[in-house]
Structure 1
Amino acid sequence: MKDQLFAVIDVETTGGGINGNRLTEICIVLLRGDEVIDKYTSLINPEKEIPRQITALTGIDNEMVATAPKFHEVAKKIEEFTRGAIFVAHNVNFDYNVLRNEFRELGFEYSRRKLCTVRLSRKLIPGLFSYSLGRLCDSINIPLVNRHRAEGDTDATVILFQRLLSLDEDYRVINSFLHARSRQATLPPHIDAEQIHNLPESAGIYLFKDRKHKVIYAGKAIDIKKRVVSHFYDRMSKEYELGQETFYIDHETTGSELVALLLEAECIRKYYPRFNRAQKRPGPVYQIVSYMNQRGVLQLALEKTSKQRESIGTFYSRALAQEKLEFLCREFKLCPKYCSLQANVEVCSHYEIQTCEGICGDNEPVKTYNKKVNKAIASLTEESSTFVIREKGRHFEEEAFVLVREGQYQGFGFIDSEARGSRLEDYEPFLKRQVATYHTHKILSNYLRKKGDPNVTFYEPEIEEVSRAVNRAEKNAAVMASHGTLSLF
């Protein structure tokens, strides 16, 4: 190892995400063991505009690079200069990936073993407040001149790397980082490998947190460790940026994928993490609503909304909602015109539903028709089932459960696998109450549609609940009749 070549490298770029970055400057210092043997440095014409904020940071502007060589003109020199060397950089994944992408643009694959001086420093100089290059150099008295320029940063990194080599005389730590199965060089610089080692290989959720312990990403997985590590192998700009800002990883096992999905939805609602895109806003739902028209006829209609509001029924596709309206129309002999299944007609003439008893042609009393509508509404209310889903638990002696009462998600919990709740009250002591949202309803709806009823125990509604549903429908009808206004159930 004393004769090993190390290429200590720093690059400056145009910014714009790892895939949009173009080189503006590069510096490479070649070491054999801990001795400097050569140096290469050059400005690079990125063939694109350098943003003002990048110029403010690095001092490199468009005029400076206008006559500089383009990457294809120096690519061969860089490849030869680093051939046989281990690629060393402070936060190595950034510099390595930018350089590799430049070679790929030319149709060549650039591959080197790599070492990260951030991760090496955390291992060999533990306990420092910060491992950024500037703070680290201040902490251990390394001169850092011409900050945010390739040569200045590389010169400081060379001194740092020489210090690290002196602290690892037998190369035990460095060799462990270079081991073919080691993920040290792949992990983001601020994450201790022990955090990854301690992650479980079971279902649950994980939270990525920044330096201040603020949640910046929430995810669910069937295998938490495997899924977390997969983020760091992804070369997408978003995943790279997520890794760079992650300092801590928390997790919670659930055993059940369903519970993991529900808990992930709750974490996104609660923390609103910056790197999560899905589930931040509710998608559209279709709701069956009722209102009293000018004739005093109680009508049913379909309404598309992005908000969860009280209604007769909520559906996650227009087709399902329309199908339910058609069923109610046939089952309770309602009028297609007054169920919003036909428009701009004097008298209904639906091609399929012909059960109307004449309300649209003044051949049926309004009071009689409204009673049928109320019965239809009550029947739909009764369909808001109360049930418990039993799923795999976190270990073989327990089961996970999800509780839904009258169609509303209540939360989840864990219970002894031998316990069989004959009453809803049996689950209450173990229930972790959660907020019901558009996303939790959709998760449960998809689960029931795909899995069916094998793991579901339904509980009959109390007689009083059914009675209240009917009375509520009749009361609302009376209120609408007196006010003549739109009302949502």
Structure 2
Amino acid sequence: MYEQRGFRQWVSRLLSLGLTKEQLLGISENKYSAFHQEAWIRSILKEVQRNRMHLHISLEEVPFFVLDTETTGFYPQLGDEIIAMAAAKTINARIQDFYFSLIKPNGIIPNQITELTGITNKDVESAPCLAEEMTKLLAFLENGVIIGYHISHDIIFINHFLWTQYRTKLTHRYLEIRAIVELLHGKGTFPTLDEALVHYSIHCEKRHTADGDVRAMTELWGYLLKELKNNKIETLYDLYNALSLH
């Protein structure tokens, strides 16, 4: 009933803007739902942008969202797709909430990706599509800082989807964990997550799975927070300033 009333209100608004009834004949309630979803996504991203936290907040108090995706390749513009997404809301490197979902792609998962991630085409047969899960992920991320190892890969895929579908992009702050590791240990150290995990003696039970990697990166983030504090890097401002000078 609520959706029907909303659809009628939406149609009335379009009519008030000058569209004729004939022009509205091809518009279905499904299209209304798509518009409604787009508006909701845009509102979340604008809210994040409006409510960015103060840079002088302690790193121990900042909600950091450790994010990871599994994809069928490296180039979304060439048709590679997200097949899994995971994120952990952390405060002082302690997990407060956790999100994970497999994603059903439009195409077939290549054999080499199945060998790497363990995700098969059968695993994703009943999984939700990316459009369904993207709204849940954005709601989960809320207002905080996104972090991850080689996080630009994940951001590129998410932004590609948001741009092609809604002509918008993530408005969250995000930080590259590798850059923070190199800030503490020198450039060129630990170019891969595996090398960083070995250095800190962190065991990743499910490597190359979105949820497994997020849990391992959260543990790594705990060590890095302590080292940052020992180096007098205690606020977001301190961290941004240190990274800009490194």
Give the TM interval when normalised to the shorter protein. 0.5 to 0.7
In structure 1, the gaps of 5 or more residues are 185-192, 195-489
Residue 110 (1) aligns with residue 170 (2): yes
Residue 93 (1) aligns with residue 152 (2): yes
CA contact (8 A) 1:18 1:94 kept: no
Instruction: Supply the distance in 2 between the matched residues of 1:71 and 1:146 (Cα, whole angstroms).
Output: 22
Residue 9 (1) aligns with residue 9 (2): no
- Of 187, 206, 209 in structure 2, the residue corresponding to residue 149 of structure 1 is 209
Instruction: Supply the distance in 2 between the matched residues of 1:104 and 1:110 (Cα, whole angstroms).
Output: 9
Deviations, residues 168-213 of structure 1 (Å, cap 9, x unaligned): 125358535546xx986xxxxxxxx76xxxxxxxxxxxxxxxxxxx
Matches within 5 A, 1:281-300: none
Instruction: Supply the distance in 1 between the matched residues of 2:162 and 2:243 (Cα, whole angstroms).
Output: 24
CA contact (8 A) 1:7 1:87 kept: yes
Q: Which has the higher helix share?
A: 2
Matches within 5 A, 1:271-420: none
Q: Rg larger in 1 or in 2?
A: 1
CA contact (8 A) 1:45 1:70 kept: yes
Q: Aligned to 1:136, what secondary structure does the other structure show?
A: helix
Backbone CA RMSD of aligned residues: 2.3
Instruction: Supply the distance in 2 between the matched residues of 1:173 and 1:5 (Cα, whole angstroms).
Output: 12
**Higher relative contact order, structure no. (Cα contacts within 8 Å, ≥ 6 residues apart):** 2
CA contact (8 A) 2:74 2:153 kept: no
Deviations, residues 29-62 of structure 1 (Å, cap 9, x unaligned): 0012332100011101121111121112111121
Residue 124 (1) aligns with residue 184 (2): yes
CA contact (8 A) 1:113 1:178 kept: no
Instruction: Supply the distance in 1 between the matched residues of 2:146 and 2:191 (Cα, whole angstroms).
Output: 19
Q: Which residue of 1 aligns with 2:237?
A: 175
Instruction: Supply the distance in 2 between the matched residues of 1:129 and 1:168 (Cα, whole angstroms).
Output: 16
**How many pairs align?**
184
The alpha-carbon distance between structure 1 residues 130 and 3, as it changes in their structure 2 partners (threshold 3 A), is closer
**Cα deviation, residue 127, structure 1:** 7.5
Give the counterpart letter for 2:65 in structure 1. Answer: A
Q: Aligned to 1:48, what secondary structure does the other structure show?
A: coil
Report the TM-score when normalising by structure 1: 0.35
The alpha-carbon distance between structure 1 residues 50 and 35, as it changes in their structure 2 partners (threshold 3 A), is same
**Cα deviation, residue 81, structure 1:** 0.8
**Cα deviation, residue 105, structure 1:** 2.9
**Cα deviation, residue 143, structure 1:** 1.2
Percent identical pairs in the alignment equals 24
Q: Which residue of 2 aligns with 1:27?
A: 86
Q: Which has the higher strand share?
A: 1
- Of 165, 184, 207 in structure 1, the residue corresponding to residue 225 of structure 2 is 165
The alpha-carbon distance between structure 1 residues 81 and 15, as it changes in their structure 2 partners (threshold 3 A), is same
Q: Aligned to 1:118, what secondary structure does the other structure show?
A: helix
Instruction: Supply the distance in 2 between the matched residues of 1:176 and 1:142 (Cα, whole angstroms).
Output: 27
**Cα deviation, residue 114, structure 1:** 0.7
Instruction: Supply the distance in 2 between the matched residues of 1:106 and 1:155 (Cα, whole angstroms).
Output: 30
